[in-house]
């Protein structure tokens, strides 16, 4: 899931500054992105749920490899990546505690994905096959290449506003009964983000 | 070698001492008092955050969804990550679990059985009959249930918090403790602490995020 979080951020930074019609343009655009930050609302939809479960948070990204993905409510959780080092914190009875189980291997995959996307190697991704669908609402649809991953995630769909040139939402479908919708707001590009956001909890 | 052996021996002895709590005697029999705790009576859908302290000092933060029908003793339980990825999804009806989804390492039969037992302990009136009720010394009023499989559950009114439910195996050793620390005005458990005793024990702290009464 942390891989997906990183994945979304990179996609967001790709497409949001200038709208692009093909992968080459997207890759070119990505190289101009130095930083991106946004708030997000996460809606979990399931057949079992009487109403969606809403989570809120924010993220920060600075090229080439600094990332903070933070949940603020209903529970607090922070993932930070900086200079190849990953840290994960989660809410406990005694406040935020470091998740020491954060597996080096998983973090390595995250970093590889980030580097790959930043270099515009969209089709080199070992986990997902990307498809660009243009129309009234443009979409990037990512489908898992591996069966073991497709048992967990059916697809990731990014909706792009051509008018505003920003990603409006990301829909992560697990199956017909369950999906997660991420809606972004207050998106900023190429603003200076203090390095401590990627190293410290506060 | 001796330096290592002695602390290990002491900690093992402490562990055995702590983990072998057995069924206590009920000192003053009081059969006519009202129930020490009222379990949910109607259908609810509950969302809890779950902070888990697991063996080997591992910790986890999860979200739990539970749709409960107390009259039928059926439920639909889902465990997911904070990011919304469903790890485990089970429907329990007519005493039969049907697993819709189980992502490793949540795909073992032991896990699903343990999870359902924990949820039943927290949300359902115990199976079986009340075999005794009265006062547990220094604790409070208790109702003792015995089920056909030989397990015993003590439902206890406590001074700090709302109630405590202790589960003992057929050998009368304590295996689980669920503490209802607080509840909503409607009687929905708001804060719950669950402890699995013994080797590879764990503890869960559940905090209510949302509750919906279901018609």
pLDDT digits (tens, 9 = 90+) for A30-88: 667 788 889 999 999 999 898 999 999 998 888 877 888 899 999 999 988 888 778 88
By the 8 A CB rule, do A60 and A82 touch?
no
Q: Which tops the pLDDT comparison, B122 or B17?
A: B122
Cβ <8 Å between A46 and B65: yes
User: What CATH number should be reported for the domain holding residue A190?
Assistant: 2.50.20.10
What ipTM describes this predicted complex? 0.81
| pLDDT, average across residues A113-119 | 53
Nearest CA in chain A to B87: A152
Question: For chain B, give me the number of helices (H) and strands (E)?
Answer: 2, 13
By the 8 A CB rule, do B26 and B144 touch?
yes
- pLDDT for B79 equals 95
Q: Which residues of B touch A48 (CB under 8 A)?
A: 45, 65, 67, 76, 78, 89
> pTM for the whole thing?
0.84
Best of A1, A44, A45, A77 to mutate (most B CBs within 10 Å, chain B):
A44
Q: Which residues of B touch A152 (CB under 8 A)?
A: 85, 103
How far apart CA A43 and CA A184 sit, in angstroms, is: 11
Query: Distance (Å) from the C-alpha of residue B84 to the closest C-alpha of chain A?
Result: 6
Q: Tokens 């017909």 sit at which residue?
A: A176
Which of A4-13, B81-90, B132-141 bottoms out in mean pLDDT, i.e. has the lowest? A4-13
How far apart CA B208 and CA B182 sit, in angstroms, is: 10
- pLDDT for B167 equals 97
How far apart CA B80 and CA A74 sit, in angstroms, is: 14
Question: For chain A, give me the number of helices (H) and strands (E)?
Answer: 4, 11
List, for residues B52-93, the tens digit of each pLDDT value. 988 887 888 999 999 999 999 999 999 998 989 899 999 999
Mean pLDDT, rounded, of chain A: 77
Query: Distance (Å) from the C-alpha of residue A5 to the closest C-alpha of chain B?
Result: 9
Q: Which structural domain, as residue segments, surrounds residue A179? A: 2-198
Packed helices A2-16 and A23-30: angle between N→C axes, nearest 10 degrees: 100
Nearest CA in chain B to A178: B86
Closest Cβ opposite residue A50 in set B45, B63, B86: B45
- pLDDT for A184 equals 87
Of B74, B77, B52, B81, give the one whose Cα is nearest residue B206. Answer: B52
List, for residues A142-163, the tens digit of each pLDDT value. 888 888 888 888 998 888 765 5
How far apart CA A22 and CA A25 sit, in angstroms, is: 5
- pLDDT for B44 equals 96
- pLDDT for B1 equals 46
Give CA separation, A201 vs A72, A191, A196, B188, in Å: 12, 20, 8, 33
Cβ <8 Å between B210 and A172: no
- What's the number of CA atoms in the CB half-sphere (13 Å) around residue A77? 22
Confidence label for B14 from pLDDT (cuts 50, 70 and 90): very low
Backbone angles phi, psi at B87, to 5 degrees: -100, -35
By the 8 A CB rule, do A160 and A8 touch?
no
How far apart CA B111 and CA B68 sit, in angstroms, is: 19
Query: Distance (Å) from the C-alpha of residue B132 to the closest C-alpha of chain A?
Result: 36
């Amino acid at each position: 899931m942390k891989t997906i979080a990183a994945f979304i951020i990179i996609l967001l930074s790709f497409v949001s500054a200038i709208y692009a019609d093909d992968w080459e343009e997207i890759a070119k655009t990505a190289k101009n992105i130095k930083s991106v930050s946004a708030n997000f609302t996460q809606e979990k939809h399931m057949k079992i749920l009487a109403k969606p479960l809403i989570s809120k948070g924010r993220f920060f990204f600075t090229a080439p490899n600094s990332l903070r993905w933070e949940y603020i409510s209903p529970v607090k959780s922070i993932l930070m990546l900086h200079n190849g080092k990953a840290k994960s914190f989660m809410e406990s009875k005694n406040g935020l505690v470091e998740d020491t189980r954060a597996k080096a291997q998983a973090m390595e995959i995250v970093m590889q994905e980030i580097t790959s996307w930043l270099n515009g190697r969209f089709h080199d991704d070992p986990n997902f096959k990307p498809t660009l669908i243009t129309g009234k609402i443009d979409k990037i649809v990512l489908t898992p290449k591996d069966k073991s991953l497709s048992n967990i995630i059916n697809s990731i769909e990014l909706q792009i506003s051509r008018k505003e040139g920003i990603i409006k939402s990301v829909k992560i479908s697990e199956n017909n009964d369950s999906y997660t919708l991420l809606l972004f707001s207050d998106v900023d590009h190429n603003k200076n983000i203090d390095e401590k956001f990627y190293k410290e909890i506060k | 070698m001796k330096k290592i052996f002695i602390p290990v021996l002491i900690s093992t002895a402490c562990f055995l001492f702590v983990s072998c709590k057995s069924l206590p005697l009920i000192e003053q029999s009081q059969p006519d008092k009202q129930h020490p705790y009222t379990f949910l009576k109607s259908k609810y859908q509950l969302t809890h955050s779950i902070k888990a302290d697991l063996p080997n000092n591992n910790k986890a933060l999860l979200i739990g969804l539970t749709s409960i029908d107390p009259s039928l003793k059926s439920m639909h339980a889902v465990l997911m990550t904070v990011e919304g990825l469903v790890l485990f999804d089970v429907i329990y009806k007519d005493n039969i679990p049907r697993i819709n989804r189980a992502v490793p390492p949540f795909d073992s039969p032991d896990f699903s059985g343990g999870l359902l037992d924990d949820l039943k302990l927290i949300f359902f009136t115990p199976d079986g009959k009340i075999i005794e009720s009265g006062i547990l010394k220094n604790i409070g009023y208790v109702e003792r249930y015995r089920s056909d499989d030989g397990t015993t559950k003590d439902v206890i009114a406590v001074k700090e918090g709302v109630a405590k439910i202790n589960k003992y195996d057929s050998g009368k050793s304590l295996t689980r403790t669920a503490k209802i620390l607080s509840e909503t005005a409607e009687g929905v458990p708001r804060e719950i602490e669950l402890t699995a005793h013994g080797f590879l024990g764990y503890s869960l702290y559940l905090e209510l995020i949302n509750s919906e009464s279901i018609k």
